[in-house]
Amino acid sequence: MILAVESSCDESALATFDPARGIVRETVSSQAAAHEKHGGVVPDLASRMHLSALPVLLREFKDQLPDVSRIAVTRGPGLLPCLSLGLAFARALSLSTGRPLTGVNHLRAHVHSPFMVLHASAPAAFAAARAALLPHLALVASGGNSLLVELGDDLSMRVVARTVDDAAGEAFDKGAKLLGLPYPGGALIERLAAEGDPARHRFPRGIPGKADLRMSFSGLKTALRYQLEKLSDEELRRELPHICAGYQLAIVEQLAAKTAAALGTGRHRSVGLSGGVANNAAVRRAMEQTARARGVPLLAAEPRHCGDNAAMIAFAAWADVGLPEAEAVTPEAQLAVGSV
């Protein structure tokens, strides 16, 4: 059984995974409420909150420690003070239990996370079932990253495309901030968009053309800022659901269009969806349509495994290949945002 620690941003999480049974136990402690008043994650506050949360969460796993054969920990990318804290905590666990420590790349774990559903349905048949779905194209859309990654027959990963500026989740969050909504804004924009007409306000779709797979979301928030300058407070109140609907549609259509274009090579046997933005029902629907149109199955991470969580770290420590022993988290590792 693998015990995993996740603390790369503002969620402290622990989980255990048994290859024969699946996720055995998982827990997440979110700091979102503490960061909300700052309008974003404050790294030093986040790391101090990890320091107090992780030992408390560990109490829930004490009875399982004798069955743990390996400790896994997120080694990056993420916020340096948060990663360092998690790594020190996991290293202490490794030393006190005598179990080896494996460092897991957070983005690789997101890429593998949709396969957790496949594993849960039939653990013993997992290897063959996964092999039939490779090569796989994974869309990872979170607050810090947006990228398309190819998972090859040999489980190697290749970044096919990424955003040149903001991530999709960042576009949701920055848009929400401009609209006076609290952080993180993605889920709230989705809720408001459900009441709006997406055709009333149009926002840019990033870099045009099927040949260019790069994503871009920063023009979206600039366009929103210009539109807001033209509205009175009263008009904004009235138009808010329509603006949210149009803004969300621009993000959804760009994600789906770039995924469809990447699938155009015809080499992929499945497509995946993961990361915090995968919680969004409109994103899930658009990706389902994209997959259906290309004749490949969509594997979407379960909602509780879309945002940061330790279950996907434990799963990736087993499902990924060739993961290194945990190394020191250097500033270089932290800066390697988007590397897999």
In the complex with ligand KG4, the residue whose CB is nearer, 103 or 186, is 186
Query: Quick check: helix, strand or coil at residue 326?
Result: coil
Is-contact 283 252, C-beta < 8 A?
yes
In the complex with ligand KG4, the residue whose CB is nearer, 61 or 183, is 183
How far is 262 from 98, CA to CA, in rounded Å? 45
In the complex with ligand KG4, the residue whose CB is nearer, 142 or 259, is 142
Nearest C-alpha neighbor of 77 from the set 29, 109, 112, 53: 109
Shortest spacing between CB 281 and ligand KG4, in angstroms: 7
Residue 112 Cα distances to 131, 182, 306, angstroms: 13, 31, 11
Q: Long-range contacts: 265-269, Cβ < 8 Å, 24+?
A: 267/135, 268/135, 268/136, 268/137, 268/150, 268/296, 269/132, 269/133, 269/134, 269/135, 269/136, 269/296
In the complex with ligand KG4, the residue whose CB is nearer, 131 or 164, is 164
Shortest spacing between CB 283 and ligand KG4, in angstroms: 7
In the complex with ligand KG4, the residue whose CB is nearer, 296 or 314, is 314
In the complex with ligand KG4, the residue whose CB is nearer, 144 or 196, is 144
In the complex with ligand KG4, the residue whose CB is nearer, 103 or 307, is 307
Shortest spacing between CB 279 and ligand KG4, in angstroms: 4
| Burial of 153 from C-beta contacts in 10 A (0-12 / 13-18 / 19+) | exposed
How far is 31 from 264, CA to CA, in rounded Å? 40
Residue ranges that bind ligand KG4, judged by CB under 6 A: 9, 142-144, 169, 172-173, 184-187, 190, 275-277, 279-280, 307-308
Residue that has been written with the tokens 């989740």 in this structure:
169
Shortest spacing between CB 75 and ligand KG4, in angstroms: 16
- Sign, Cα dihedral of 193, 338, 156, 83: negative
How many CB atoms neighbour CB 323 within 10 A? 17
Q: What would the two tokens of residue 292 be?
A: 């259906």
How many CB atoms neighbour CB 1 within 10 A? 20
Radius of gyration of the chain (CA): 20
Shortest spacing between CB 313 and ligand KG4, in angstroms: 12
Shortest spacing between CB 228 and ligand KG4, in angstroms: 19
Shortest spacing between CB 92 and ligand KG4, in angstroms: 25
In the complex with ligand KG4, the residue whose CB is nearer, 144 or 272, is 144
Shortest spacing between CB 232 and ligand KG4, in angstroms: 27
